[in-house]
C-alpha cells in the first residue's frame, strides 16, 4: 500500500513537471516556436532555392531534399537542449528546484520530467520545420521506424545535455556557452549541408568523431535512404551516451550539485 502511494506521488509529480514545461514554451510561442520556423525557412530559401540549383545533386538526391533532414534534426537538437538548460537553471535560480528536492519526489522523476519537456519542444519545432519543408520539396519517408526513433533519441540526448548545463551553470550567461561554442559548430560540421564523401580522407576520419554527424545521417537515411554512416552504429552510440548522461545527471542531482551556491 505504501509503495502504491509512493508511485502515485511520483506519477503526479511527473505529470506536473511535464505539464509545466509544455505550458512554459507554448505560452510564449512567439519566442520558442516562431523564431526557429523563420530561421529554417530562410535556410530553405537561401541554401535550397538560391544555392541548391547551382550545386546540383548531393548523395544522389537534389540538394534541397538533401538538406531538409539535416535542418529538421538541427532544429530538434537546439530546441530540446535550450529548453531544458534555460528552464532548469531558471527554476534553480528561483529556488523552486530545492522545493522539489525536499519533497517526496525522486530525482529520477525530476530528471524525466524536464527531459520529456525538452523532447516535447524539440519534436514540436521539428514537426513545424517538417511541415514548412513540404512547401519547398516533396518528402517521402524511406523508413518510418528509423525517423521516429532517431528523432526521439536525439531529443532525449540533448535534453539530458541541457539538464547538465543548467545544473552546472552559475549565471544565465553560462547557458549560452555550450550552444554557441560546442553545439552550433558541431551541427554545421555534422553533414547538414554536405556529404562527408566530399571531404578529404583526413577530414572524413575527423568528422567521424562528431556525434551529430551520426544523428543527421541516420535521420537522412530514414527519410531519403542515403547515409554516410551505419545506422546501427548511430543507435548504439546514442543509447550509450543517453545511459551515461542519465547516470551522471542522477548522481549530480542526488548530491545537489549546483543547487546550493
* pTM (predicted TM-score): 0.93
pLDDT score of 3: 63
DSSP result, 196-238: GGGS-HHHHHHHTT-HHHHHHHHHHHHHHS--SS-HHHHHHHH
Domain residue spans in the chain?
2-255
Task: Extract the C-alpha cell encoding 250.
Answer: 542522477
DSSP secondary structure code for residue 124 in this structure? H
pLDDT score of 9: 81
Sequence length of the chain is 261
CA distance 108 to 39: 35
Q: How far is CA 44 from CA 104, 134, 182, 202, in A?
A: 48, 11, 24, 30
pLDDT score of 176: 86
On whether the CB atoms of residues 160 and 115 are closer than 8 A, the answer is yes
CA distance 83 to 188: 20
**Residue 58 φ/ψ, nearest 5 degrees:** -140, 115
Strands 61-62, 57-58: pairing kind: antiparallel
Taking only the tens of pLDDT, the chain with its 261 residues reads 556 777 888 888 899 999 999 999 999 999 999 999 999 999 888 887 778 778 878 877 888 889 999 999 999 999 999 999 999 998 888 878 777 877 788 889 999 999 999 999 999 999 999 999 988 888 888 899 999 999 999 999 999 999 999 998 888 888 888 888 899 889 888 888 888 888 888 888 888 889 999 999 999 999 998 888 889 999 999 999 999 999 999 999 888 777 655
Beta-carbon contacts of residue 108 (< 8 Å; ≥ 6 apart): 250
pLDDT score of 2: 58
CA distance 18 to 218: 28
Q: Where on the phi/psi map is residue 260: left (φ > 0), alpha (ψ -120 to 50), or beta?
A: beta
CA distance 252 to 190: 30
Amino acid at each position: 500500500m505504501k509503495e502504491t502511494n509512493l508511485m502515485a506521488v511520483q506519477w503526479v509529480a511527473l505529470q506536473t513537471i511535464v505539464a509545466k514545461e509544455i505550458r512554459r514554451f507554448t505560452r510564449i510561442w512567439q519566442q520558442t516556436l516562431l523564431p526557429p520556423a523563420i530561421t529554417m525557412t530562410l535556410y530553405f530559401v537561401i541554401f535550397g532555392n538560391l544555392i541548391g540549383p547551382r550545386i546540383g545533386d548531393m548523395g544522389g538526391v537534389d540538394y534541397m531534399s538533401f538538406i531538409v533532414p539535416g535542418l529538421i534534426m538541427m532544429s530538434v537538437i537546439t530546441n530540446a537542449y535550450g529548453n531544458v538548460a534555460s528552464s532548469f537553471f531558471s527554476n534553480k535560480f528561483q529556488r523552486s528546484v530545492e522545493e522539489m528536492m525536499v519533497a517526496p519526489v525522486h530525482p529520477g522523476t525530476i530528471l524525466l520530467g524536464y527531459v520529456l519537456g525538452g523532447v516535447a519542444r524539440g519534436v514540436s519545432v521539428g514537426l513545424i520545420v517538417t511541415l514548412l519543408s513540404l512547401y519547398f520539396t516533396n518528402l517521402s519517408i524511406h523508413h518510418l521506424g528509423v525517423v521516429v526513433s532517431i528523432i526521439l533519441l536525439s531529443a532525449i540526448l540533448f535534453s539530458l545535455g541541457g539538464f547538465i548545463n543548467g545544473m552546472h551553470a552559475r549565471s544565465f550567461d553560462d547557458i549560452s556557452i555550450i550552444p554557441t561554442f560546442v553545439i552550433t559548430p558541431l551541427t554545421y560540421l555534422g553533414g547538414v549541408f554536405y556529404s562527408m564523401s566530399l571531404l578529404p580522407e583526413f577530414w572524413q576520419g575527423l568528422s567521424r568523431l562528431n556525434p551529430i554527424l551520426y544523428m543527421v545521417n541516420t535521420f537522412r537515411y530514414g527519410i531519403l535512404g542515403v547515409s554516410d554512416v551505419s545506422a546501427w552504429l548511430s543507435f548504439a552510440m546514442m543509447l550509450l551516451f543517453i545511459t551515461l548522461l542519465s547516470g551522471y545527471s542522477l548522481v549530480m542531482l542526488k548530491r545537489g550539485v549546483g543547487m546550493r551556491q
